[in-house]
């Protein structure tokens, strides 16, 4: 079975890979664009990129209900454990760990990270997943940075980049990011959740097609992509 990725809107993704269920940045119950609620998803692992509410919102409730392991930076893991999460795999930037579904590396992200209650949320990150059938790079919330070129050197099959602007890279910088990373395929995320991050994803995809070798995939929340 190839890896599948379902977009749950905003920065939230649900992966099925090698018989394992992996959730990234679950923000469902209060998200205007989520196709389902937190109670509807299953996970064995919940990856959290940073402490902002639109990434951690439903992490504790889902991880607790599903007995899932949270994978995040040390501070986010500690905060979620105080909320009742039993199992965590704390990491820090540049570090990687081998999990039953593949290798997870916490990559740089230029952003901020504070927990919803004001607690320190450590450094924000992205995730590089090395799975049986390919490599996926989730940039998560970040500005454009030149070291994306180093991440791309790993050979990325699928990159997920924010294009919303204002809080993260916008469309123009996300095109530059595609040039640095050189993924085979690229998906936009973190846009059209609210009016301040409204973007024309099709126009962005046209630029990616014209200016890079990557194949852009524009999908709606709820849709699934196969690696």
Interface residue list for Ni ion (CB under 5 A): 52, 141
Q: Are 224 and 1 in contact (CB under 8 A)?
A: no
Q: What is the rounded radius of gyration, in angstroms, for the C-alpha atoms of the chain?
A: 16
Cross-strand bridge partners of residue 72: 90
Report d(CA 22, CA 47) in Å as an integer.
Answer: 7
Q: Which stretch binds Mn ion (CB under 5 A): 37-45, 84-92, 139-147, 151-159?
A: 139-147
Residue 16 binding target from Ni ion, Mn ion, none, CB below 5 to 8 Å by type: none
- Interface residue with Mn ion among 24, 33, 46, 54 (CB under 5 A) is 54
Phi, psi angles (nearest 5°) of residue 178: -60, -40
Report d(CA 57, CA 37) in Å as an integer.
Answer: 12
Q: How far is the CB of 61 from Ni ion (least distance, A)?
A: 19
Contact between 141 and Mn ion by CB under 5 A: the answer reads yes
Q: How far is the CB of 215 from Ni ion (least distance, A)?
A: 27
Q: Which stretch binds Mn ion (CB under 5 A): 79-87, 113-121, 141-149, 177-185?
A: 141-149
Q: Which is nearer to Mn ion, 54 or 75 (CB)?
A: 54
Contact between 58 and Mn ion by CB under 5 A: the answer reads no
Q: Which is nearer to Mn ion, 75 or 141 (CB)?
A: 141
Q: Which is nearer to Ni ion, 52 or 185 (CB)?
A: 52
What is the Cβ-side half-sphere exposure of residue 60, based on CA atoms within 13 angstroms?
15
Phi, psi angles (nearest 5°) of residue 49: -80, -30
Q: Which stretch binds Mn ion (CB under 5 A): 50-58, 118-126, 142-150, 214-222?
A: 50-58
Neighbours of 153 (CB within 10 A): 11
Residue 10 binding target from Ni ion, Mn ion, none, CB below 5 to 8 Å by type: none
Torsion of CA 134, 181, 33, 114, to 10 degrees: 110
Q: How far is the CB of 1 from Mn ion (least distance, A)?
A: 30
Q: How far is the CB of 209 from Mn ion (least distance, A)?
A: 26
82 Cβ partners below 8 Å, 6+ apart? none
Residue 25 binding target from Ni ion, Mn ion, none, CB below 5 to 8 Å by type: none
Q: Which stretch binds Mn ion (CB under 5 A): 59-67, 73-81, 123-131, 136-144?
A: 136-144
Residue carrying structure tokens 């980049």: 161
Cross-strand bridge partners of residue 39: none
Give contact residues for Mn ion (rule: CB under 5 A): 54, 141
């Amino acid at each position: 079975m190839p890896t599948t990725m379902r977009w749950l809107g905003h920065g939230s993704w649900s992966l099925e890979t090698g018989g394992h269920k992996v959730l990234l940045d679950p923000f469902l119950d209060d998200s205007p664009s989520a196709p389902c609620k937190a109670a509807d998803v299953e996970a064995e692992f919940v990856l959290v990129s940073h402490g902002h509410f639109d990434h951690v919102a439903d992490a504790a409730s889902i991880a607790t209900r599903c007995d899932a392991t949270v994978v995040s930076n040390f501070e986010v893991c500690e905060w979620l454990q105080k909320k009742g999460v039993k199992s965590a795999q704390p990491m820090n930037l540049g570090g990687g760990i081998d999990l039953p579904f593949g290798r997870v590396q916490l990559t740089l992200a230029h952003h901020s990270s504070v927990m919803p209650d004001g607690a320190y949320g450590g450094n924000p990150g992205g995730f590089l997943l090395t799975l049986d059938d390919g490599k996926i790079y989730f940039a998560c919330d970040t500005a454009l940075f030149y070291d994306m070129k180093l991440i791309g050197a790993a050979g990325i099959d699928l990159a997920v980049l924010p294009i919303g602007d204002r809080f993260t890279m916008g469309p123009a910088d996300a095109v530059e990011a595609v040039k640095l990373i050189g993924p085979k395929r690229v998906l936009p995320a973190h846009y059209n959740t609210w009016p301040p991050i409204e973007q024309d994803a099709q126009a962005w995809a046209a630029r990616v097609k014209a200016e890079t070798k990557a194949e852009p995939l524009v999908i709606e929340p709820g849709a699934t992509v196969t690696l």
